[in-house]
Structure 1
């Protein structure tokens, strides 16, 4: 937009005139515009112009129409000197004035006077203005542009009946580019800011070019409006006709005594559809089904199918949400702590989400995956999350689900088709932002009916689930507000693309001290209430609880612990009923446990009592948590046969073969003959034989047991280890370190060897466990042998200094003598 201004000196053409500011109106030279004026200052300016200034007044447009008393900065720098043609006073105090634009003019804020309040009798808004004369332009370009505008004006007059034919004819006779542009502008429906830009354009040809462009656009818009109005009118006539015919049908049904009116029922469904907060695209598709319903006989089979479909659509909440506002973080924390002991990471993640939700208006629900052994509280913490957020909770069990239709629904062409479990759950809770727990997501499987885990990709992808398409509905449904929680016992059963869409949070097993606290604070009060007892009826000592944890349960979670506590409550209830004393207190101590729960089911401390040759303690991860894994190696005279027993999986069998290859490659350093493997048969066994075992973390355990057996050197009985081995002797990282260290602590192990790459995971291990365990990170098998064998690795692994293998073997023979005594 051009910038105009004064240099501080008055021009000879400057004059003082009454001034009136306009709202959303731009006055152009040579145009006649009627306006209603109501502001006191504007009326005063008009009256003064008529009385003292030969009906001349300066009109300028406000930049902000809403301002009642604009300042100088709120007005444009260019306006129009105009003449008052007619003035009519109205009964309500306003006046109707007919203005005619005369010339463009600039006004000087420094020499002007703006008065809008407390106007004295002899005061009025006035401005010092400078007229801006225009020159006529006559050249071929201007003539061509004028001719094009004249042709467009004829078309404009045909499509826009609001413009009088006389006005079109008058504009078609103009031959000056500037005059033609100024007279066309008032007839165009464009924003006042754009009109002001045209007013400030002093180049007549450029001004007419812009007006021509706007005129063509206005012709197109008016044509479109005309077509739209025609379509709307036709639709209204059609609707009126349908209404008339429907009323006739209703009258006929009433005369014939029909109680159920299909058309009235369809109209009721349409009213419900209009009230649903769904997208217009979805609404139109459902309307088509309603239209089919109107034309069907209620007795037909297809009528029932369409009616069921419409009922499903209308029963869904669509955009209805529950408690989508701020959440009390303090209260949510209290609820989570009240329901669960420990589990700090999941609680922290939930509180983070709730905190962010209070800061943003709309946030996509996260997709969390709780991975951990059975009984550690994966599903129950999902319930607590829903309670802390004051939302509905839905649990969908996916264990054993094989059919993709369970997730995405059936096509409506099938008999008995229904939506999937996800959509069905929304019908139950009646809102669109529940907490949905997809349990046992790692237990799904695929068959000829499809892969349900692949169907879950769309459900759990934050970039897609805002438009989830169920096969039955065939409409886009928004799942982005749902708080999805999935649970699994192990990640290996979840496809990688599905894992990529979830935030993995591991819930490891509980410590003994945590289990005792959980039993005291959660399990025992719950079982006392369920068995009809009072808190004072049972006194269960901490030592008794610790013995239950150690000798009657072996699990990562607390399910079996709860069963044992329930058993104590049953036996206590029996004593109370037998003695008919409801106030009796049953004391459960460490000594009375065997009488109430029977003989001890497990032993505490699984390590060997003394160091033995060919026996090594390993650590394994199972679905029930960490376990001690004993590896035994026996040597027999033979021809190099290797036998592996203990129901080992493919991975562990490969680890055993890699261990043998590693030892053969290091035979000279170990003092073994290069062909030692052809003289003996090796038997590797992992008790107990009936339990399947597999996993990539037993490599160094197998290797250590083999070296111990071949060299006849015992392995430390108070040491356990975990890690995989390469053919070069490197120790690779493993998973489940926390659970394995808990198992080592439970087995009374003092020293644990772990891969050096897992040292960073020690921060997840409770400090109480690390205080009682000596955890040694190792990088190579040489370090493992040095720490694990009784007499240390310096007596086993001999650095090479050029001696032949035979010399190494003799030296090793001498150094092994003390260990064999």
Structure 2
């Protein structure tokens, strides 16, 4: 590419424009130094250097404020205008690089390097030229700024560099973009840059056309709808028809004023109604506002059921629906008594805790019936989104109030019995913590101003009687548990289960299967047989399934004509349901060495736990199996340390651990086991194995120990005692500090068991182990 240096060429700085080689155009010049430079150019062979300013606001730019590449041009004609400016006709010659500036008194000159174009063209240039023309043609069809004449004049150019410059001059580029083309001395690179830019411009123009078309269609549709709505209003006015939106708004206003809303909610409802009335019916927001107003109107603000404060009637209903559960019934009757005495009482927040199938949910229904209140239930199992409790804000698509407000709408009164079922099954994730949202619902000091994100206005929940149910209290966060009154339902005794089966489950299954008591009769012995040999649970859910199975088989016999009526005895139960699934009485058949029976508390009630100890020659290792948790592992270590430190007192070789491996196993290895009440059981099994003294088979025990042998108190004594009774144990060893809890155990169970409160392990061993034979 040839380069020629030229010095002291008059130069003209351009503001907001740029000239390409071979381009002819008029320029209006107003600066005195610029006009002087043009006059000097006419004197010196009509040559002038044109270069664009980087900042058009600068009056006299320096070298740094000018672009590096400009155009050497010829002045063809000048004309003085009446306003004192000069109009100049110039033609671009070639690209030139600015080397230096010399600011004279009257005008400025520049030293430049003239970059002459490379005139050689090859096949690749020919291909690029065709592609450039093709894309420019497509652009000219999309753009209204390029006429057919302009395209034809460009298409006639055969020289590649000039073609590229003419295409660039006709593109809607800013000065910086055109300058970028000007600085591309290589013709191939210049054409490739322009092809890419043309493709981009075509995409932009196509998108603009689509947008303009959509906007035009939307405007036409809106104008049409507005015109039709105005016509409809006029027609309705002429006909005297008030059933349009105006009539609807008037009806809503009347309902709002009669709803009994508090002042803040009334103001919000009327404000939204005014917005709704002004909006076109087709507007998307119109439907959102109408839905919001409907929710405000559907909520009970003043509707209240009158409590039936009849203690005798309430007691009859509770006893009719539920056998046992004396503690819960007593709490409900106390609430009614205080209500009757004072005339008003803020609704209590009860939490019924117990294993599955003990009647927590049905008890809440009975509470509602005994009070004469509406009953509403929401299931919280698996809820992990805070908006399920507090609702969604109305800015979201498909927003709705939370489950609390939905429940109040369903109840239709401000004082229902509201059941929060499975409150321990809530969890949290990135969508928030619903248990934290429940704090406001269940706090008596806050729930008179409950705030739902959708309703926005505060709602009074203070008159609601909340009843929650839970299987495992440990899964409920502490702050939430602190706001509830915990009532534990441990499970049923065998006698209570028999009464429940006879008085509730059996009649219900008869009704569901279309039977009468004459067609299906189940004896008391059969009920007891079912409870002992076909179920093992704290509640009665499995028992009801077995009664349902008997009812189905009875229906089949009656429908097939084999029997007109079915009398069920224990033998018939076996014929219908197959062999017994469980062995009644889990106690060992005989006294065992190294095996003790512990009592455990689980989320499904109490259970018995067999702990086995085996000794073998080894290096003194302690092996623990049975999928034990950390707490039970620590209990085993503590028990072993106690036995080692008291070996002589217990008649055990003090060096027993040096050559003996001790293996402690809790059967049913696939079931996780943990808890702080297995200490004395493990110690008893260890001492039994080391002294070869058998453990009495009828003894069950619960309690944790310290290294000094003290027996620490435990929880869940009632549940553990019921499981011991189910298993056929007759002697129970408990910590002395739990002696006061014996009163909570039903009389029927307590009469059949012997309790031994103990303070230390020595007392435990005296009761649990057989006496040494002399």
Shorter-chain TM band: 0.5 to 0.7
Matches within 5 A, 1:664-703: 664-703=644-683
Counterpart contact for 2:618–2:659, Cα < 8 Å? yes
| Structure having the higher Rg | 2
Corresponding position: 1:742 with 2:725: no
Deviations 1:507-546 (A, max 9, x none): 1211111111111111111111111111111221111111
Of the three residues 343, 363, 367, the one matched with 1:381 is 363
**1:347 maps to what in 2?**
329
Residues 1:258 and 1:657: Cα distance change in structure 2 (over 3 Å): farther
Corresponding position: 1:610 with 2:590: yes
- TM-score, structure 2 length as denominator? 0.68
User: Please, which moves more after superposition, 412-421 or 294-303?
Assistant: 294-303
- Quote the Cα distance in structure 2 between the aligned partners of 1:361 and 1:627: 45
**2:251 maps to what in 1?**
268
Q: Secondary structure at the match of 2:376?
A: strand
Matches within 5 A, 1:761-772: 761-772=741-752
- TM-score, structure 1 length as denominator? 0.64
1:678 CA drift (Å): 3.2
Deviations 1:342-362 (A, max 9, x none): 111111111111222222232
- Quote the Cα distance in structure 1 between the aligned partners of 2:448 and 2:309: 23
Counterpart contact for 2:380–2:423, Cα < 8 Å? yes
**2:302 maps to what in 1?**
319
Of the three residues 431, 437, 443, the one matched with 1:455 is 437
Residues 1:580 and 1:662: Cα distance change in structure 2 (over 3 Å): closer
- Quote the Cα distance in structure 2 between the aligned partners of 1:475 and 1:726: 56
1:587 CA drift (Å): 1.4
1:249 CA drift (Å): 12
1:286 CA drift (Å): 2.6
Matches within 5 A, 1:525-536: 525-536=507-518
- Quote the Cα distance in structure 2 between the aligned partners of 1:758 and 1:686: 25
**2:428 maps to what in 1?**
446
**1:579 maps to what in 2?**
561
1:727 CA drift (Å): 2.0
- Quote the Cα distance in structure 1 between the aligned partners of 2:657 and 2:473: 39
Aligned residues: 545
- Quote the Cα distance in structure 1 between the aligned partners of 2:231 and 2:343: 50
- Quote the Cα distance in structure 1 between the aligned partners of 2:480 and 2:756: 36
**2:692 maps to what in 1?**
712
- Quote the Cα distance in structure 2 between the aligned partners of 1:277 and 1:767: 53
Deviations 1:519-578 (A, max 9, x none): 111111111111111111122111111111000111111111111111111121112112
Of the three residues 408, 414, 430, the one matched with 2:390 is 408
- Quote the Cα distance in structure 2 between the aligned partners of 1:543 and 1:646: 37
**Unmatched 5+ residue regions in structure 1?**
1-246, 793-817
**1:778 maps to what in 2?**
758
- Quote the Cα distance in structure 1 between the aligned partners of 2:298 and 2:648: 78
1:671 CA drift (Å): 4.2
- Quote the Cα distance in structure 2 between the aligned partners of 1:675 and 1:305: 82
**1:565 maps to what in 2?**
547
- Quote the Cα distance in structure 2 between the aligned partners of 1:339 and 1:553: 22
- Quote the Cα distance in structure 2 between the aligned partners of 1:268 and 1:716: 81
- Quote the Cα distance in structure 2 between the aligned partners of 1:727 and 1:286: 69
Of the three residues 283, 289, 297, the one matched with 2:272 is 289
Of the three residues 571, 586, 599, the one matched with 2:579 is 599
**1:589 maps to what in 2?**
569
Of the three residues 471, 483, 487, the one matched with 1:501 is 483
- Quote the Cα distance in structure 2 between the aligned partners of 1:682 and 1:745: 31
1:469 CA drift (Å): 0.5
**1:360 maps to what in 2?**
342
**1:646 maps to what in 2?**
626
- Quote the Cα distance in structure 2 between the aligned partners of 1:322 and 1:521: 31
1:622 CA drift (Å): 2.1
Counterpart contact for 2:376–2:410, Cα < 8 Å? no
**1:393 maps to what in 2?**
375
1:483 CA drift (Å): 1.1
Deviations 1:353-397 (A, max 9, x none): 122222223221111111111111100011111111222111111
**1:758 maps to what in 2?**
738
- Quote the Cα distance in structure 2 between the aligned partners of 1:257 and 1:282: 33
Q: Secondary structure at the match of 2:663?
A: strand
Corresponding position: 1:370 with 2:320: no
**2:524 maps to what in 1?**
542
- Quote the Cα distance in structure 1 between the aligned partners of 2:251 and 2:465: 34
Corresponding position: 1:298 with 2:281: yes
1:254 CA drift (Å): 1.9
1:629 CA drift (Å): 0.6
- Quote the Cα distance in structure 2 between the aligned partners of 1:613 and 1:369: 44
1:714 CA drift (Å): 1.6
- Quote the Cα distance in structure 2 between the aligned partners of 1:729 and 1:452: 44
**2:177 maps to what in 1?**
none
Counterpart contact for 2:698–2:729, Cα < 8 Å? yes
**2:495 maps to what in 1?**
513
1:439 CA drift (Å): 0.7
Of the three residues 527, 534, 541, the one matched with 1:552 is 534
Corresponding position: 1:329 with 2:311: yes
1:493 CA drift (Å): 1.1
Deviations 1:237-284 (A, max 9, x none): xxxxxxxxxx99976852499876334333332222211212212222
**2:141 maps to what in 1?**
none
Deviations 1:184-215 (A, max 9, x none): xxxxxxxxxxxxxxxxxxxxxxxxxxxxxxxx
- Quote the Cα distance in structure 2 between the aligned partners of 1:425 and 1:317: 11
- Quote the Cα distance in structure 2 between the aligned partners of 1:567 and 1:249: 66
**1:436 maps to what in 2?**
418
Of the three residues 709, 730, 737, the one matched with 2:710 is 730
Deviations 1:567-625 (A, max 9, x none): 111121112112277xx331111222210111000001111122222110111122332
- Quote the Cα distance in structure 1 between the aligned partners of 2:569 and 2:239: 84
Deviations 1:621-650 (A, max 9, x none): 223322111000111111222211111122
- Quote the Cα distance in structure 1 between the aligned partners of 2:301 and 2:770: 70
- Quote the Cα distance in structure 1 between the aligned partners of 2:432 and 2:372: 36
- Quote the Cα distance in structure 2 between the aligned partners of 1:564 and 1:249: 67
- Quote the Cα distance in structure 1 between the aligned partners of 2:336 and 2:673: 42
- Quote the Cα distance in structure 2 between the aligned partners of 1:517 and 1:249: 71
- Quote the Cα distance in structure 1 between the aligned partners of 2:249 and 2:755: 74
**1:214 maps to what in 2?**
none
- Quote the Cα distance in structure 2 between the aligned partners of 1:540 and 1:296: 69
Counterpart contact for 2:642–2:709, Cα < 8 Å? yes
Of the three residues 451, 464, 471, the one matched with 1:489 is 471
- Quote the Cα distance in structure 1 between the aligned partners of 2:592 and 2:325: 39
Counterpart contact for 2:349–2:466, Cα < 8 Å? yes
**2:452 maps to what in 1?**
470
Deviations 1:639-693 (A, max 9, x none): 2222111111222122112212222332343344555333221111111112221
Matches within 5 A, 1:145-156: none
